[in-house]
A and B are shown apart, each in its own frame.
Chain A
């Protein structure tokens, strides 16, 4: 099956610093990746759609200057939380859309728990 990895799985950072989260599709090419945010006991909130080689499309209300997304290759997208604050603490999940195997399906990474102190 298709595997998506995220790194790191957990990160603690101080307020005001920046944190980068990586999302990789390990055995397939993903022209499109998605970044979600999940608060405790709540559903996934789509933050942005990341397209390889072009600018990400952000959902309404998501600050593009705060959540920088780069999709530099067909297997890697990164989310950088800049000048992090405690309210940015959350569970961030990426997913990758597999279209190069004759099917169209979305595969999720294991998530990254960000804690800002």
Chain B
């Protein structure tokens, strides 16, 4: 069985501050991990993905995430928040070499204050 836990349903930061969205996973096989962003009334857009290559993954819009096997984590960060980053963020996991169907976390709403 596999699962994804996103700590904090809401994260609030000031514009220009560091963004940290937490994701922990559980998987019995080596995982593929993803971060998606969803703007209101829109579908999901892939920010970045980890597929067993480099553990530090850089994505679009200045986001990056680090895969830490020892901590079973895949936290998403951005050095400086922008107002346009306000959205819902989903961490997802799929099992490498097996079922492709991803398991999604419950999502974290990022609020950016001016």
A and B assemble together: yes
Known: A42-B106, A43-B106, A46-B101. A113 touches B45 (CB 8 A): no
| Nearest-Cβ distance from residue B18 to partner chain A, whole angstroms | 25
Contact of B43 among A32, A104, A111 (CB under 8 A): A111
Q: A4 contacts which chain B residues (CB < 8 A)?
A: 43
Closest residue to B42 on the A side, CB-wise?
Answer: A110
Q: How far is the CA of A44 from the CA of B45 in the complex (A)?
A: 13
Is B44 in contact with chain A by the CB < 8 A criterion? Answer: yes
| Nearest-Cβ distance from residue B25 to partner chain A, whole angstroms | 14
Closest residue to B105 on the A side, CB-wise?
Answer: A43
Q: For window 7-42 of chain A, which residues contact chain B by CB distance below 8 Å?
A: 32, 34, 41-42
Interface size on B, residues (CB 8 A): 18
Q: Are A108 and B101 in contact (CB under 8 A)?
A: no
Q: How far is the CA of A46 from the CA of B102 in the complex (A)?
A: 9
Closest residue to B102 on the A side, CB-wise?
Answer: A106
Q: A95 contacts which chain B residues (CB < 8 A)?
A: 43-44
Q: A46 contacts which chain B residues (CB < 8 A)?
A: 101
Is B31 in contact with chain A by the CB < 8 A criterion? Answer: no
Chain B residues in the interface with A (C-beta under 8 A): 9, 36, 41-46, 49, 90, 100-102, 104-107, 109
Which 7 pairs between the two chains have the least Cβ-Cβ distance? A108-B43, A108-B44, A110-B43, A43-B106, A43-B104, A111-B43, A44-B104
